[in-house]
């Protein structure tokens, strides 16, 4: 039977959250054998996400963990200062290890962001993953795309501007891991205290070496996922009305 795609996705409260979740759900609804593991960055599961999931029509698991204060990106911080969604992805991994069985459950684990853009073709590709598979990511790293460079069917280096010497110079959206590998390596997780750009490597180093990677998307020549970022909506008038004691209907 078709292996299940387990998509672990951190998500956090902000004005665009429901819009993002709606957009994603309407992509994921088209993917067969899909299990959405949402992990809220919060002290408890919110009513908004709870009711959204109840009616989204997708198989899901709803978890939460609050990022420790010291590691939380501040409003004024540049976004590269601290890695985001780390503890949330680790809680997702922990859930897989506690609920799935090495012998009977067949699947592929993918780490989704709630603001990226996913082609349906990406999921067809990643479902074949035996160990760790990789592919290009669009609109990332200050470039039109980053990608693994493939020679004679093997990944030999990374096409990226920022530190190409990193062990796995690849965005979170650019790889998937066979469930078996996750379950066989219970120590493998994301490191909260990493240098900029080393988060992906902190997990992958536990699992695989570069020459074992499985290049997908036509030997990493096609972009099937984009690291899009949603503009923060302006709330000038909304805030004005709050000041005047006339806030909008909550
Ligand atoms: N995220 C989170 N807590 C935060 C900030 C982000 O859980 O305080 C989540 C976010 O919802 C997304 C993932 O972590 O799913 C990556 O964050 P973001 O998209 O802001 O990072 P970027 O794309 O800028 O690297
Ligand atoms: Mn993002």
Note the pLDDT tens digit of each residue in 15-46.
Answer: 999 999 999 999 999 999 999 999 999 999 99
CA distances from 34 to 28, 92, 123, 127 (A): 7, 15, 9, 10
Q: Ligand 2 center to residue 226 CA distance, Å?
A: 9
What is the value of pTM for the model shown?
0.97
Q: Ligand 1 center to residue 63 CA distance, Å?
A: 16
What is the predicted pLDDT for the residue at 127? 98
Q: Hey, which of 7, 10, 88, 192 would you mutate to test ligand 1's pocket, going by the most ligand atoms within 8 Å of its Cβ?
A: 10
Q: 39-74 pLDDT, tens per residue?
A: 999 999 999 999 999 999 999 999 999 999 888 988
Please list, residue by residue across 210-246, b when 16 or more beta carbons sit within 10 angstroms of its beta carbon and e when fewer do.
Answer: beebbbbbebbebbbbbbeeeeeeeeeeeeeeeeeee
Q: 110-168 pLDDT, tens per residue?
A: 999 999 999 999 999 999 999 999 999 999 999 999 999 999 999 999 999 999 999 99
115 assigned to a ligand binding site: yes
Average pLDDT for the chain: 97
Banded model confidence at residue 231, pLDDT cuts 50, 70, 90: very high
Atom of ligand 1 nearest to the CA of 41: 7
Neighbours of 173 (CB within 10 A): 24
Ligand having the closest approach to the CA of 84: 1
- 123-127: long-range pairs with CB below 8 Å, 24+: 123/5, 123/31, 123/34, 125/216, 125/217, 125/224, 126/5, 126/176, 126/216, 127/2, 127/3, 127/5
Integer Cα distance of 83 and 191 in angstroms: 9
Q: Ligand 1 center to residue 85 CA distance, Å?
A: 6
200 is catalytic: yes
Output 78 or 212, whichever has higher pLDDT: 212
Q: Hey, which of 16, 40, 68, 85 would you mutate to test ligand 1's pocket, going by the most ligand atoms within 8 Å of its Cβ?
A: 85
The CA angle 237-238-242, to the nearest 5 degrees, is 115
- Interface TM-score (ipTM) > 0.90: yes
Banded model confidence at residue 79, pLDDT cuts 50, 70, 90: confident
CB of 197 shorter than 6 A to ligand 1: no
Neighbours of 186 (CB within 10 A): 11
Give the single-character DSSP code of 229. Answer: -
Q: Which residues, other chains included, contact 177 with Cβ-Cβ below 8 Å and sequence gap of 6+?
A: 108, 109, 110, 129, 131, 132, 207
């Amino acid at each position: 039977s078709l292996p299940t795609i387990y998509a672990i996705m951190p998500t956090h409260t902000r004005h665009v959250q429901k819009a993002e979740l709606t957009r994603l759900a309407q992509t994921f609804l088209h993917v067969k054998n899909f299990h959405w593991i949402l992990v809220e960055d919060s002290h408890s599961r919110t009513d908004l996400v709870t009711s959204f999931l109840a009616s989204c029509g997708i198989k899901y698991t709803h978890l939460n963990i609050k990022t420790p204060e010291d590691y939380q990106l501040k409003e004024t911080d540049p976004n590269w200062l601290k890695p985001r969604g780390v503890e949330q992805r680790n809680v997702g991994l922990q859930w897989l290890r506690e609920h799935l069985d090495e012998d009977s459950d067949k699947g592929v684990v993918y780490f989704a962001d709630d603001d990226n853009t996913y082609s349906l073709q990406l999921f067809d590709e990643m479902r074949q993953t035996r160990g760790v598979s990789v592919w290009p990511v669009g609109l990332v790293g200050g470039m039109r795309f980053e990608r693994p460079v493939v020679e004679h069917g093997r990944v030999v280096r990374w096409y990226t501007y920022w530190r190409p010497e990193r062990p796995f110079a690849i965005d979170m959206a650019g790889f998937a891991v066979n469930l078996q590998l996750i379950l066989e390596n219970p120590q493998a997780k994301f490191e909260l205290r990493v240098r900029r750009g080393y988060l992906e490597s902190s997990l992958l180093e536990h699992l695989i070496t570069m020459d074992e990677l499985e290049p997908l998307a036509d030997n990493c020549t096609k972009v099937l996922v984009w690291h899009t970022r949603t503009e923060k909506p302006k709330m000038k008038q909304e805030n004005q009305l709050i000041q005047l004691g006339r806030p909008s209907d909550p």
